[in-house]
Amino acid sequence: MREAFHEELDLITKHLQKMALLVKSATAEATTALLTADLSLAESVIAQDDVIDQMQHELDDKTMQLLATQQPVASDLRVLVTSLRMSADLERMGDMAHHIAKLARMRHPATAVPPEASLTIEEMGRVAGIIIEKLAQIIVSRDIQAAQQLAIDDDEMDKLHRKLIQTLISKDWPYSAESAIDLTLLGRYYERAADHAVSISRRVYYLVTGKYQDSKG
Amino acid sequence: MREAFHEELDLITKHLQKMALLVKSATAEATTALLTADLSLAESVIAQDDVIDQMQHELDDKTMQLLATQQPVASDLRVLVTSLRMSADLERMGDMAHHIAKLARMRHPATAVPPEASLTIEEMGRVAGIIIEKLAQIIVSRDIQAAQQLAIDDDEMDKLHRKLIQTLISKDWPYSAESAIDLTLLGRYYERAADHAVSISRRVYYLVTGKYQDSKG
């Protein structure tokens, strides 16, 4: 009976990892769609968001069912409660890819990203990919050190974010306010996706130790 | 024994309401600090965010303790799980007030909001106040109809957000890209705070019915 329960817990963890990998590919595709003004790729990312949302619902239903029927305590309880929170963060990361793809679609056939900013956005997409890839592994490995190190990759994202804003406010930025708005929002989407990943890595710390890791605020 | 447990559940609900009211005053004060370039008020909101974060930790610890010791099922289980999610949304709403106050502080002694946009920002602050006030009541009353109607107030916020963006992209907007960035972020903070409130109202629906309310995506 308990063995079957632990198999169910493992399934939940695998489901979370699968969700993270789906978010990773959605983010990568959204970035490509954005930088290449690829309408059909943008549409595909937008459609895919429902799949991520549906995964969250199924995962949460399963988690609630186990909470209700298995009356878990200690680390088993933490696995289930943490799963509810991770799924919410992952769903939100999926929303960020969705937002990026929607902006790509809105500006098509033009691109929302002028040449002066495209390298920075490309880098933000690349760093997001690295962070989410690591996260997918950490969800399964529960490696606390790797979880804590994710904050370092997030610092890289924050640097890119500041660089993007610097580009926008430089005197020779020749584009419209609309373009500044687009890039401000895009910068925020990537930064938030990385923040959610860090938030999930903190939940791994809690899951393993039962303690809260200090937040950077 | 069960009676004591239900008293504990009521306490959790009251704690969530208290958290919502704290978020409401933080948002109102952040808006005032922003519009009047009031540095000490901004500092006070920034300091207050730790109190909101601490409330979330205490609430979550209590919730976990009840999950572990009371082995709740059905609606009692939903109250506890929903509490974990509401506290996360409320904490995030507190972060929005914190972000607004930080922007006010960064631009002090100037104001981040030029006269052309100040009425719209003031309105966004006012609508946020109404939404969070209603939310605080809904958390306790669990009135599903009121919960569903919160989406209408959120539509008002979305309208104001679009109006703000329209102002920024109009041909006679005389301010810098930096100002456009500030206002884009501010618009997003208010809009996100309202979105989190709607998200909490959906959790009330789930709490009462055990079913998910359709998301607007």
Q: Residue A135: which CATH number?
A: 1.20.58.220
Q: What pLDDT was estimated at residue B99?
A: 98
Nearest CA in chain A to B68: A73
Please answer whether residues A196 and A89 qualify as being in contact, where contact means their C-beta atoms are separated by less than 8 angstroms.
yes
SS (H, E, C) chain A: CHHHHHHHHHHHHHHHHHHHHHHHHHHHHHHHHHHHCCHHHHHHHHHHHHHHHHHHHHHHHHHHHHHHHHCCCHHHHHHHHHHHHHHHHHHHHHHHHHHHHHHHHHHCCCCCCCHHHHHHHHHHHHHHHHHHHHHHHHHHHCCHHHHHHHHHHHHHHHHHHHHHHHHHHCCCCCCCHHHHHHHHHHHHHHHHHHHHHHHHHHHHHHHHHCCCCCCCC
Residue B13 lies in a domain: yes
- The pLDDT tens digits of the residues spanning B68-97 come to 999 899 999 999 999 999 999 999 999 999
Q: What pLDDT was estimated at residue B174?
A: 86
Q: What pLDDT was estimated at residue A76?
A: 95
Residue B16 lies in a domain: yes
CA distance linking residue A214 with residue B199, whole number of Å: 26
Q: What pLDDT was estimated at residue A215?
A: 56
Could you tell me the two tokens for B160? 């104001």
Q: What pLDDT was estimated at residue B173?
A: 84
If interface means Cβ-Cβ distance under 8 Å, which residues of chain B face chain A? Answer: 49, 53, 57, 64, 67-68, 71, 73-74, 77-78, 81, 84-85, 88, 165, 168-169, 173, 176-178, 180-181, 184-185, 188, 212, 215, 217
DSSP for B26-37, please give it.
HHHHHHHHHHHT
Q: For residue B73, which residues of chain A lie inside 8 Å, CB to CB?
A: 68
Task: Provide CB contacts within 8 A for A144, sequence distance 6+.
Answer: A204, A205, A208, A209
CA distance linking residue B17 with residue B216, whole number of Å: 25
DSSP for B172-185, please give it.
T--S-HHHHHHHHH
**What is the domain range of residue B124?**
2-209
User: Could you give phi then psi for residue B50, rounded to 5 degrees?
Assistant: -60, -35
Q: What pLDDT was estimated at residue A2?
A: 76
If interface means Cβ-Cβ distance under 8 Å, which residues of chain A face chain B? Answer: 49, 53, 57, 64, 67-68, 71, 73-74, 77-78, 81, 84-85, 88, 165, 168-169, 173, 176-178, 180-181, 184-185, 188, 212, 215, 217
Domain count, chain B: 1
Please answer whether residues A68 and A107 qualify as being in contact, where contact means their C-beta atoms are separated by less than 8 angstroms.
no
Please answer whether residues B177 and A181 qualify as being in contact, where contact means their C-beta atoms are separated by less than 8 angstroms.
no
Residue A216 lies in a domain: no
CA distance linking residue A13 with residue A136, whole number of Å: 10
Q: Which residues of chain A have pLDDT under 70?
A: 1, 214-217
Q: For residue A84, which residues of chain B lie inside 8 Å, CB to CB?
A: 81, 84-85
Residue B37 lies in a domain: yes
pTM: 0.94
Taking residues B132-154, what's their average pLDDT? 97
CB spacing of B181 vs A169 below 8 angstroms = yes
CA distance linking residue B1 with residue A89, whole number of Å: 35
Q: What pLDDT was estimated at residue A214?
A: 64
Given the cut 0.95, state whether the ipTM is greater than it.
no
Residue B214 lies in a domain: no
Nearest CA in chain A to B183: A181
Residue B216 lies in a domain: no
